[in-house]
Amino acid sequence: MFSSCLNLFDGFIHDKPGVGKSCLLLRFSDGSFTTSFITTIGIDFKIRTIELYGKRIKLQIWDTAGQERFRTITTDIRNWIRNIEQHASDHVNKILVGNKADMDESKRAVPTSNGQALADEYGIKFFETSAKTNLNVEEVFFSIARDIKQRLAETDSKVEPQTIKINQPDQGAGTSQAAQKSACCGS
């Protein structure tokens, strides 16, 4: 989906506040990390062009503000997936990302096993990342880009060309009706 590049990806990063969504996006798009915490107000987005299968792909990633109204991370993810299923196209690509993998597992909000179990429940890929150490950051975005590109390629190959016949009378149509249909603009 973009210019001399393919605009492949209008991705959303969404979950609870303070989990590192903006840091993850900053690490991927700019290759930098900051410990300064600035709350995302509304929506922010970044663009990065990558090379994938010999083609330039422009990724557009939207970073949404964390939603305080969700009670737990698991509930948040279940609500988000329900929203995706209700409002997105049927074949939208999804992944689940647990950030701050550099932290001791006992200090994390969600243990690895819970994240993997939830991803398995929904049949989606699970990645653990660290924006701080750059662990799996590239892999997450490249993985979703590959999945989207593959889905789009499969969709394109399934679309059969349609032939439109102009000035062809309908079968069984009377002669005068056929003559009318073959004349341009009824003249």
CATH code matching the domain that covers 6-158, chosen among 3.10.180.10, 3.30.450.40, 3.40.50.970, 3.40.50.300: 3.40.50.300
Give the single-character DSSP code of 74.
H
pLDDT at 6: 30
pLDDT at 134: 96
Q: Could you tell me if 52 and 145 are in contact, meaning their C-beta atoms sit under 8 angstroms apart? A: yes
pLDDT at 95: 93
The pTM (predicted TM-score) of the whole model is 0.69
* C-alpha–C-alpha distance, residues 85 and 80, integer Å: 9
